[in-house]
Amino acid sequence: MTNVLYDGVFAPFSSSEKPFLLTPSGHVSYTAFTQLTNQFANCLVKNGLHPDDRVAVQVDKSVMQLALYAAVIKAGGVYLPLNTEYTPHELDYFISDAKPAVVVVANRVSEAVTPLASGIGANLQTLNADETGSLVRQLDLESTDFTAVPRSDEDLAAILYTSGTTGRSKGAKLCHRNLLSNAKVLAKSWHFTSYDVLLHMLPVYHTHGLFVATNLLCMVGGSIIFLPKFSIADALAWMPKATSMMGVPTFYTRLIDSSEFTREVASHMRLFISGSAPLLAETHVKFERRTGKMILERYGMTETNMSISNPYEGMRIAGTVGKPLPGVEIRIVDTKTGVPVPEGEIGIIEQRGDNVFLGYWEMPEKTAESFRADGFFITGDMAKQDKNGYITIVGRDKDLIISGGLNVYPKEVEVMIDDIDGVLESAVIGVPHRDFGEAVVAVVVPSDKNLDTALISRSLTGRIAKFKQPKAIVLADALPRNTMGKVQKAELRRSHADLFV
* pLDDT confidence of residue 283: 87
Domain covering 27-178, topology = Rossmann fold (3.40.50)
Instruction: Identify whether the C-beta of residue 224 lies closer than 8 Å to the C-beta of residue 22.
Output: yes
* pLDDT confidence of residue 25: 94
Instruction: Identify whether the C-beta of residue 414 lies closer than 8 Å to the C-beta of residue 426.
Output: yes
Give the Cα separation of 85 and 91 in Å (integer). Answer: 10
Quote the pTM value.
0.86
Instruction: Identify whether the C-beta of residue 46 lies closer than 8 Å to the C-beta of residue 10.
Output: no
The CA angle 425-249-429, to the nearest 5 degrees, is: 40
27-178 and 230-396, same CATH topology: yes
At residue 2, what are phi and psi to the nearest 5 degrees? -120, 170
For every one of its 501 residues, what pLDDT tens digit does the chain have, with 9 covering 90 and above?
Answer: 789 999 999 876 656 689 999 999 999 999 999 999 999 999 999 999 999 999 999 999 999 999 999 999 999 999 999 988 888 888 999 999 999 999 999 999 999 999 999 999 999 999 999 999 999 999 999 999 999 999 999 999 999 998 654 457 899 999 999 999 999 999 999 999 999 999 999 999 999 999 999 999 999 999 999 999 999 999 999 999 999 999 988 899 899 999 999 999 999 999 999 998 778 888 899 999 999 999 999 999 999 999 999 999 999 999 899 999 999 999 999 988 899 999 999 999 999 999 999 999 999 999 999 999 999 999 999 999 999 999 999 887 888 787 876 778 788 899 889 999 999 999 999 988 877 778 899 999 999 889 999 999 999 988 887 888 999 999 999 999 887 778 899 899 999 999 987
* pLDDT confidence of residue 165: 42
* pLDDT confidence of residue 12: 67
pLDDT, one tens digit per residue, over 207-225 is 999 999 999 999 999 999 9
Q: According to the CATH classification, is domain 400-495 in 3.30.300.30?
A: yes
Which residues contact residue 371 at a Cβ distance below 8 angstroms, ignoring those fewer than 6 apart?
359, 377, 378
HSE of 451 in the Cβ direction (CA atoms, 13 Å)? 24
Give the Cα separation of 357 and 175 in Å (integer). Answer: 7
CATH classification code of 230-396 = 3.40.50.12780
C-alpha distance from residue 3 to each of 33, 70, 87, 332 (Å): 18, 11, 34, 36
Measure CA 360 to chain center. Answer: 17
Q: Where are the domains of the chain?
A: 27-178, 230-396, 400-495
Neighbours of 115 (CB within 10 A): 11
At residue 344, what are phi and psi to the nearest 5 degrees? 90, -10
